[in-house]
């Protein structure tokens, strides 16, 4: 009853069975205590951001909202009922190592620590169809279809997303990649100078953003001007907002949801009323997929269509019609495993949720992948149904390195055969994109390698040279 009252006050009530006892006792609960005003307990100082001026003085309660006896009862509840260790993933089909549909291509460059934070196949650009962003080098590289660098631009911070609108490139600069509460993020245009060289605009479109991860251009109020939807993932603080274009480079900010964790958004007029609606995945605290229905005049109605436990580590979602009924279904991944419970979790992987035509969703399919980070549903083999390409950033590299990249071939009736490629075990894939790279009418895949801090990709104790990305070239019919 205490857990229902206090733990459920901010997010879905987590069942003790979702984590092992040590993760509850040493990881999650000590980080939850300060949210309830408990900063010291049982001779232990709980981690908090009380000295962080960026979160403001009112983020934490000034006084404990429950007494120490009640807090101990919550600790006892989670530690007594939770398992000593989590069960292993129940994967009915093993991942086959070998995939004839794709031929692996590597660029001519490789180095010790690739830190690719963004990868994009821009099929509309025949000169620079591939774009890669690197965190350490702070460069955005523009490649041709032969994987040769043809242009680059230095960025003032790590670029994690790019929006293309009317031949304009709008880069989302997260500011500082690691979790923080600062407002260092920016939205900046990438332009061409008189010599045709790509340069970063010296004046940001928006600045002082809280770890933005996606910025999307759209006319959200039907006034003919470009507005911008901003996902500020943040850390303890963050928000989903849209910037209304008032003309003359003036914008008015409208907050749609004042919570951190907005990680992926789609702007689609799902109800065909002429006004653009917004689907968003939140991946912090109250993890879930939210639908913001545009009611006109800049007003949005909010509905949470899917809700996930706060320990899931939601990482990505897409809208895709799997059963061909004309209504968007959802492919969803969870696998962020870098917080307070760094253990392999049986519920990490790829999910499909079917739409009952009224935006009520029910789970139809699940394929377990430790640390799954992204899944993109396309008809890769051209047989008329949706297959799925997925990556993991927190795979079980020691025992199941093939989890790093998994291709789920659609065999019909929601049966998928899992495959991987041996070359995908040479990197740690943080980002992925799909598209027709070489204009042969087939969907290719790019995997972006982020191996900073990884001890899984060393050979004989020495660092190895690895490519910043690999291409899976579609060789199908």
**For the segment 253-299, what is each residue's pLDDT rounded down to a tens digit?**
999 999 999 999 999 999 999 999 999 999 999 999 999 999 998 89
Given a cut of 80, whether residue 14 has pLDDT beyond it is: yes
User: What value does the mean pLDDT take over residues 414-426?
Assistant: 95
The two beta strands, 227-232 and 206-209, are unpaired
SS3 176: coil
Cα–Cα nearest to 448, from 464, 474, 426: 426
Between CA 11 and CA 162 the distance in angstroms is 31
55 in Cβ contact with 236 (< 8 Å): yes
Written as six digits, the tokens of 46 are 């709980």
pLDDT score for 103: 97
Tokens 């004042």 belong to 258
Cα–Cα nearest to 449, from 410, 376, 388, 391: 391
pLDDT score for 377: 98
Given a cut of 60, whether residue 459 has pLDDT beyond it is: no
Between CA 278 and CA 456 the distance in angstroms is 38
| Burial of 419: CB neighbours in 10 Å, binned 0-12, 13-18, 19+ | buried
Q: 137: phi > 0 → left, psi -120 to 50 → alpha, else beta; which?
A: alpha
Average pLDDT value over all residues in the chain = 94
Residues listed for the chain: 477
Given a cut of 70, whether residue 203 has pLDDT beyond it is: yes
Given a cut of 80, whether residue 457 has pLDDT beyond it is: no
pLDDT score for 199: 86
Q: Which residues pair with 268 in a beta bridge?
A: 277
pLDDT score for 438: 94
Between CA 375 and CA 393 the distance in angstroms is 12
Q: Distance between alpha carbon 177 and the CA centroid of its chain, in Å? A: 13
Percentage of the chain exceeding pLDDT 90 = 88
Written as six digits, the tokens of 10 are 């901010």
Written as six digits, the tokens of 374 are 């992204």
Query: Can you give the pTM of this predicted structure?
Result: 0.95
pLDDT score for 453: 66
User: What value does the mean pLDDT take over residues 442-446?
Assistant: 98
Least confident of 40-44, 121-125, 460-464: 460-464
Find the angle CA(233)-CA(236)-CA(240) to the nearest 5 degrees. 35
Between CA 437 and CA 89 the distance in angstroms is 35
Between CA 101 and CA 99 the distance in angstroms is 6
**Residues contacting 152, CB < 8 A, separation 6+:** 139, 140, 141, 142, 198
Given a cut of 90, whether residue 339 has pLDDT beyond it is: no
| Burial of 324: CB neighbours in 10 Å, binned 0-12, 13-18, 19+ | exposed
User: What value does the mean pLDDT take over residues 431-447?
Assistant: 97
Helical (H) or strand (E) element with 26? none
Sheet holding 287-296, edge to edge: 262-268, 277-282, 287-296, 299-308
pLDDT score for 67: 96
118 in Cβ contact with 138 (< 8 Å): no
pLDDT score for 7: 93
User: What value does the mean pLDDT take over residues 48-70?
Assistant: 94
Cα–Cα nearest to 33, from 53, 8, 1, 61: 61
Number of alpha carbons in the 13 Å side-chain half-sphere of residue 15: 7
pLDDT score for 347: 98
Cα–Cα nearest to 444, from 473, 469, 401: 473
**Residues contacting 218, CB < 8 A, separation 6+:** 226, 227, 228, 229, 267, 276
The two beta strands, 415-420 and 96-97, are parallel
Q: What is the pLDDT of residues 189-198, one digit of tens each?
A: 998 787 778 8
Find the angle CA(317)-CA(319)-CA(322) to the nearest 5 degrees. 115
Phi–psi pair at 203, nearest 5 degrees: -110, 125
Q: Which residue has the higher pLDDT, 355 or 465?
A: 355
Given a cut of 70, whether residue 461 has pLDDT beyond it is: no
User: What value does the mean pLDDT take over residues 171-185?
Assistant: 96
Cα–Cα nearest to 449, from 382, 354, 345, 373: 373
Number of alpha carbons in the 13 Å side-chain half-sphere of residue 132: 28
Sheet holding 130-134, edge to edge: 116-121, 130-134, 139-143, 149-154
pLDDT score for 456: 47
Given a cut of 60, whether residue 463 has pLDDT beyond it is: no
375 in Cβ contact with 406 (< 8 Å): no
Between CA 62 and CA 75 the distance in angstroms is 22
User: What value does the mean pLDDT take over residues 73-91?
Assistant: 96
């Amino acid at each position: 009853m205490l857990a229902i009252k206090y733990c459920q006050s901010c997010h879905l009530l987590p069942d003790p069975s979702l984590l092992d006892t040590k993760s509850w006792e040493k990881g999650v609960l000590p980080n939850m205590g300060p949210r309830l005003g408990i900063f010291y307990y049982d001779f232990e100082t709980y981690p908090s951001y009380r000295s962080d001026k960026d979160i403001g003085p009112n983020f934490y309660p000034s006084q404990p909202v429950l007494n120490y006896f009640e807090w101990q009862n919550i600790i006892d509840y989670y530690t007594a009922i939770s398992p000593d260790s989590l069960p292993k993933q129940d994967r009915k089909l093993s991942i086959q190592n070998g995939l004839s549909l794709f031929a692996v291509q590597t660029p001519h460059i490789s180095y010790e620590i690739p830190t690719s934070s963004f990868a994009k196949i821009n099929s509309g650009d025949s000169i620079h169809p591939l774009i890669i962003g690197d965190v350490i080098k702070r460069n955005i590289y523009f490649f041709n279809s032969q994987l040769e660098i043809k242009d680059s631009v230095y960025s003032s911070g790590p670029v994690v997303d790019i929006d293309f609108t009317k031949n304009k490139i709008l880069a989302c600069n997260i500011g500082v990649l690691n979790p923080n509460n600062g407002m260092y993020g920016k939205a900046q245009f990438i332009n061409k100078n008189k010599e045709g060289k790509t340069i970063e605009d010296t004046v940001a479109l928006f600045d002082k953003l809280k770890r933005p991860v996606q910025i999307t251009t759209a006319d959200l109020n039907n006034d003919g001007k470009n507005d911008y939807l901003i996902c500020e993932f943040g850390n303890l603080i963050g928000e989903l907002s849209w910037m209304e274009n008032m003309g003359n480079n003036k914008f008015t900010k409208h907050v749609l949801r004042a919570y951190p964790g907005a990680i992926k958004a789609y702007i689609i007029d799902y109800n065909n009323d002429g006004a653009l609606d917004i689907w968003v995945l939140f991946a912090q605290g109250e993890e879930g997929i939210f639908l913001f229905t545009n009611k006109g005049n800049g007003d949005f109605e909010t509905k949470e269509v899917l809700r996930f436990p706060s320990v899931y580590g939601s990482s990505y979602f897409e809208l895709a019609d799997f059963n061909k009924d004309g209504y968007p279904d959802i492919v969803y991944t969870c696998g962020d495993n870098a917080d307070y419970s760094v253990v392999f979790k049986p519920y990490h992987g790829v999910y499909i949720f079917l739409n009952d035509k009224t935006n009520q969703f029910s789970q139809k399919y699940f394929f377990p992948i430790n640390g799954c980070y992204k899944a993109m549903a396309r008809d890769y083999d051209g047989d008329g149904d949706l297959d799925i390409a997925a990556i993991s950033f927190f795979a079980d590299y020691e025992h199941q390195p093939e989890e790093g990249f998994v291709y789920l071939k659609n065999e019909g009736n929601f049966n998928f055969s899992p495959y991987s490629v041996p070359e995908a075990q040479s990197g740690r894939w943080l980002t992925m994109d799909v598209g027709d790279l070489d204009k042969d009418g087939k969907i290719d895949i790019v995997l972006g390698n982020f191996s900073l801090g990884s001890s899984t990709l060393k050979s004989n104790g020495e660092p190895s040279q690895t490519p910043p990305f690999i291409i899976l070239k579609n060789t199908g019919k």
